[in-house]
């Protein structure tokens, strides 16, 4: 599919009480340093866009990865043709018809009905070109600079330059984004007006240099057409100027061609051939777009062509790659395993950037925006590293440095709770994180899985002295299994379980869910978890109970209904809350207990909960994580255990998909009898030979060939041999 056919408004119909994605309609090139969107109502905080709203406050340059995290280094440009005079600017918003506007990954285009201005924005990695056509000769723009700013207007060069300082959180409170804007027409200085919310701002009517808080600059130009060319930098004003000069080597038409080519480079790697399910194909490619937005580049190419970035801890410019706007708790299980197949070269550069974060902060990153925010449990970048290591995507030096970084987080508790594992020393002391730490069950399970990941990297690095040590720690989940209730439960430091346990209660040791959503996250040892229940059959019955239980909840430790609870009920899929990340792997657990038919049925049904519209996701999309679940599941496999090199088979959606892989290899995924009523896989073949395993390996996928699944109306029961079952430490 062509990238120009994608409408970016998928999953954008949201508010803070209910999420259909909590996504923004972002225009930019893949993994750009900046994105652009329309702002309808800036007073709504992170929910400043509504796909049905007609109000137009301007084109917003944004770095917001999630409304729950907030934006940073933002600014707003609104084309205007009205002279504000000397009055205060109360409300300079326009209006547009959202049905007639273009929201494309490579272009934003709309007609402002209030000002009668047609505008088109074309993005680049570090900026954009904004072209506007006016119906009169009083052409102008309003530039809003939230927070602290310093701005200069240079009439001779037709430029506006300066910086903004607005952040949700950062190690450097003075963190700046520099910008430079150049107009194609001369400025009309007699009509220029600057307003500030701060009375002490340095503003004079005849000045061309202003400093202040929440500045709004209205400037006007000659003629009825104009292009503004914008570039930004986190390094310096000089780098912003260099980024602008580089962008100006292309016309706006050439920039559009370059943006399309950048997207098609990734889109063309997955070729879906299916004329029977056009809406599913549309949903697939619309969702695929979201996998190439985050993490964002946080580095720029200097005059020497080498990468440089801003170190917010030392507040200096440093060489090397760096990426931001990513929470590993969300993305480790789908986004990065997907990249390992489709774009391993890109994954490697990102991993180099994450090493940069470790070198500069002393700990591997957890949630970057723009630097470490420390949100969510665990240090699940460990899974990204182990997955790359298991697939031989890291050099020997990288393996050793990553291993040292992972071991540090596993053994040294930071004085700053943003970094590393929380409750590290208690975890080492008790073999679990006791309940005096918030979200103790999730921390325990995530640490045990990370310990498995350390063992994987240690094995690849030839550190045999570490393998057994961390494989043993990877079984620490057993310390919090309560055989009486049949659940993984919060445990006190004295070895007793927390009292008044209720399975439907959220919080109380669990993250954004109850034990039903969080108590099965033993990715490294599902077979061992099944043994805790008494064996495969008993574990199967527990999974059946999970999916057959009503979609109800108790607010528990949260004290009120959070949006994830609302989304669990709205999805109405038992306690399998695909609306949030902890449940992503649960449909695939049935394959571990000889019931792949249940995996197939659940995956096919759950995939119907996605669409290409404004309400396209069943919960927070979260930086590609939910998009990744859908894309991988639609292809027919899912990485339950990143680090194992396996993808558990599920239910493919399309008649045929061709994965164009590195090394000029193709993997063709063919689905026969692909009709809506056929909900079970009857037989499978790999390269013409019967295939009875429950998983594909990474090496099998990357070798290319053809994998054929034949569907039918009734399940074809198959009892897996030990070698055919997915990986578990206890296998």
User: What is the DSSP track for 267-292?
Assistant: HTTEEEE-SS-HHHHHHHHHHHHGGG
CATH of 3-264, one of 2.70.98.10, 3.20.20.100, 3.40.50.1980, 2.120.10.80: 2.70.98.10
Please tell me the distance from the alpha carbon of residue 352 to that of residue 464, in angstroms, as a whole number.
Answer: 25
Q: What is the DSSP letter of 677?
A: T
- 610, 616 contact by CB (below 8 A): yes
Give the whole-angstrom CA distance, residue 111 versus residue 475: 60
User: Which pTM value belongs to this model?
Assistant: 0.97
DSSP at 498: P
Q: Which residues does 689 contact at the CB level (< 8 Å), separation at least 6?
A: none
Rg (C-alpha) for the chain, rounded Å, is 26
CA–CA separation, 156 vs 567, rounded Å? 55
Q: DSSP states of 582-608 as a string?
A: GGTTGGGGGGGGT-HHHHHHHHHHHHT
Q: Which two tokens stand for residue 99?
A: 């049905």
Domain map of the chain by residue range? 3-264, 321-480
* Rounded alpha-carbon distances, angstroms, from residue 138 to 82, 133, 191, 223, 546: 7, 11, 10, 7, 64
Comparing C-alpha atoms, which of 477, 532, 485, 529 is closest to residue 505?
485
Tokens of 214: 């929440």
- What backbone torsions phi and psi does residue 457 show, to the nearest 5 degrees? -70, -40
Question: SS3 for 472-495, per residue?
Answer: HHCCHHHHHEECCCCEECCECCCC
End-to-end CA distance of the chain: 42
Whose CA is closest to 592, among 730, 725, 721, 449? 725
- Among 556, 717, 547, 623, CA closest to 292: 623
Q: For residues 448 and 474, give the distance between their C-alpha atoms in angstroms, rounded to a whole number.
A: 4
Strands of 396-523 (E only): list them.
481-482, 487-488
Give 479's Cβ-side CA count (13 Å radius): 27
Considering only CA atoms, which of 632, 645, 639, 640 is closest in space to residue 606? 632
Contact of 94 with 105, CB cutoff 8 Å? no
DSSP H helical segments within 526-562, as ranges?
A: 526-532, 536-548
- Supply 471's token pair: 């494989």
Q: What is the DSSP string of 157-190?
A: TTEEEEEEE--SS-S-TT--EEEEEEESS-B-GG
Are the C-beta atoms of residues 353 and 323 closer than 8 Å to each other? yes
Q: CA nearest 665: which of 349, 341, 281, 389?
A: 341
Phi-psi region at 574: left, alpha or beta (left = phi > 0; alpha = psi -120 to 50)? left
Angle formed by the axes of helices 596-607 and 625-635, nearest 10°: 120
Q: What is the DSSP letter of 720?
A: P
What stretches in the chain show pLDDT beneath 50?
86-89
- In 7-74, at which residue ranges do the beta strands (DSSP E only) sit? 35-39, 55-56, 58-62
Joined together, the tokens standing for residue 495 give 């070895």
DSSP 96: -
* 690/683 Cα distance (integer angstroms): 8
Question: What pLDDT was estimated at residue 86?
Answer: 47
Annotate 300-336 with DSSP letters as a single string.
EE-TTS-EEEEETTTTEEEES--EESEEHHHHTTTHH
The two most distant CA atoms of the chain are separated, in Å, by: 82
CA–CA dist 152, 616 (Å, integer) = 43
Which of 42, 7, 43, 40 lies closest to 25, judged by CA?
A: 7
Cite the DSSP H helix spans in 615-688. 625-635
688: left (phi over 0), alpha (psi -120 to 50) or beta: left
Distances (CA, A) of 365 to 171, 349, 354, 402, 418: 14, 15, 7, 12, 9
Please state whether the peptide bond connecting residue 338 to the residue before it is cis, i.e. omega within 30 degrees of 0. Answer: no
How far are the Cα atoms of 587, 615, 661, 724 from residue 680, in angstroms, in the given order?
A: 14, 28, 28, 18
* Tokens describing residue 78: 């609104």
8 A C-beta contact, residue 522 and residue 449:
yes
The CA distance from 488 to 431, in Å, is: 14
- CA distances 654 to 278, 674, 698, 705, Å, are 10, 7, 21, 17
What does the DSSP 8-state code read for residue 704? -
Exposed (0-12), middle (13-18) or buried (19+): which is 249, by Cβ within 10 Å? Answer: exposed
CATH topology of domain 321-480: Glutathione S-transferase Yfyf (Class Pi); Chain A, domain 2 (1.20.1050)
Nearest in space to 579 (alpha carbons), one of 597, 557, 562: 562
Tokens of 35: 């994105």
Going by their DSSP bridges, the two strands 209-221 and 107-112 should be labelled as unpaired
> Which token pair is 199?
């009375």
3-state helix, strand and coil shares in percent for the chain, rounded to the nearest 5 = 30, 25, 45
What b/e string do you get for 596-623 counting C-beta neighbours within 10 Å, with b at 16 or more? bbbbbbbbbebbebbbbbbbbbbbbbbb
Q: In the block, which residue shows the tokens 């009486």?
A: 484
Element (H, E) at 666: strand 665-672
């Amino acid at each position: 599919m062509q990238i120009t056919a994608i409408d970016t408004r998928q999953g954008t119909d949201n508010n803070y009480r209910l999420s259909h994605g909590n996504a923004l309609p972002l225009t930019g090139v893949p993994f750009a340093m900046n994105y652009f969107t329309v702002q309808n109502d800036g007073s709504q905080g992170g929910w400043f866009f509504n796909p049905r709203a007609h109000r137009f406050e301007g084109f917003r340059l944004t770095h917001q990865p999630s409304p729950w995290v907030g934006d940073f280094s933002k600014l707003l440009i609104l084309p205007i043709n009205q002279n504000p005079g000397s009055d205060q600017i109360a409300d300079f918003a326009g209006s547009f018809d959202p049905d007639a506007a273009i929201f494309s990954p490579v272009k934003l285009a709309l007609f402002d009905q209030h000002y009668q201005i047609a505008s088109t924005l074309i993005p680049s990695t570090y900026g954009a070109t904004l072209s506007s056509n006016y119906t009169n000769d009083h052409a102008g723009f309003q530039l809003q600079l939230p927070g602290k700013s310093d701005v200069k207007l240079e009439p001779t060069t037709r430029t506006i330059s300066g910086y903004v300082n607005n952040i949700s959180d950062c190690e450097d409170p003075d963190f700046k984004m520099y910008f430079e804007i150049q107009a194609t027409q001369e400025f009309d200085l007699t009509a220029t007006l600057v307003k500030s919310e701060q009375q002490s701002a340095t503003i004079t009517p005849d000045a061309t240099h202003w400093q202040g808080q929440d500045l709004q600059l209205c400037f006007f130009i000659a003629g009825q057409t104009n292009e503004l060319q914008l570039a930004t930098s986190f390094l310096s004003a000089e780098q912003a100027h260099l980024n602008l000069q580089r962008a100006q080597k292309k016309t706006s038409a050439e920039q559009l061609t370059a943006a399309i080519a950048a997207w098609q480079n990734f889109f063309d790697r997955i070729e879906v051939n299916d004329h029977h399910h056009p809406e599913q194909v549309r949903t697939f490619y619309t969702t695929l777009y979201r996998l190439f937005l985050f993490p964002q580049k946080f580095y720029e190419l200097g005059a020497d062509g080498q990468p440089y970035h801003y170190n917010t801890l030392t507040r200096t410019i440093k060489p090397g790659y760096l990426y931001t706007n990513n929470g590993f708790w969300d993305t480790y299980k789908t986004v990065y395993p997907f990249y390992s197949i489709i774009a391993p070269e890109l994954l490697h550069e990102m991993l180099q950037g994450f090493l940069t974060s470790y070198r500069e902060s002393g700990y591997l990153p957890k949630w970057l925006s723009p630097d470490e925010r420390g949100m969510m449990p665990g240090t699940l970048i460990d899974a990204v590293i182990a997955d790359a290591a298991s697939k031989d995507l890291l050099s020997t030096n990288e393996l050793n440095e990553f291993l040292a970084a992972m071991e540090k987080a596993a053994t040294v508790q930071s004085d700053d709770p943003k970094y590393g594992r929380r409750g590290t020393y208690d975890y080492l002391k008790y073999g679990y994180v006791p309940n005096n730490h918030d979200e103790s069950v999730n921390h325990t399970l995530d640490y045990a899985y990370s310990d498995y990941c350390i063992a994987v990297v240690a094995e690849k690095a030839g550190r045999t002295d570490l393998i057994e040590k961390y494989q043993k720690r990877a079984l620490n989940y057993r310390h919090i299994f309560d055989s009486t209730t049949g659940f993984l439960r919060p445990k006190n430091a004295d070895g007793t379980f927390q009292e008044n346990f209720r399975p439907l209660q959220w919080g109380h040791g669990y993250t954004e869910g109850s034990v039903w959503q969080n108590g099965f996250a033993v990715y490294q040892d599902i077979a061992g978890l099944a043994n805790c229940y008494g064996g495969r059959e008993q574990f199967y019955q527990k999974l059946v109970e999970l999916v057959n239980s009503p979609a109800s909840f108790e607010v528990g430790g949260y004290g009120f209904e959070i949006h994830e609870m609302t989304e669990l009920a709205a999805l109405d899929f038992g306690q399998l809350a695909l609306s949030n990340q902890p449940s992503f792997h649960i449909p695939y657990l049935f394959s571990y207990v000889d019931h792949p038919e249940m995996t197939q049925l659940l995956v096919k049904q759950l995939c119907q909960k996605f669409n290409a519209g404004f309400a396209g996701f069943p919960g927070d999309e979260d930086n590609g994580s939910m998009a990744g679940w859908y894309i991988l599941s639609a292809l027919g496999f899912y990485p339950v255990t990143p680090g194992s090199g396996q993808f558990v088979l599920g239910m493919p959606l399309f008649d045929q998909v061709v994965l164009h892989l590195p090394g000029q290899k193709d993997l063709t995924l063919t689905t026969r009898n692909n009709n809506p009523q056929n909900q079970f896989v009857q037989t499978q073949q790999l390269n013409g030979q019967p295939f009875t395993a429950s998983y594909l390996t990474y090496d099998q996928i990357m070798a290319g060939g053809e994998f054929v699944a034949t569907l039918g109306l009734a399940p074809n029961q198959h009892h897996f041999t030990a070698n055919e079952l997915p990986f578990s430490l206890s296998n």
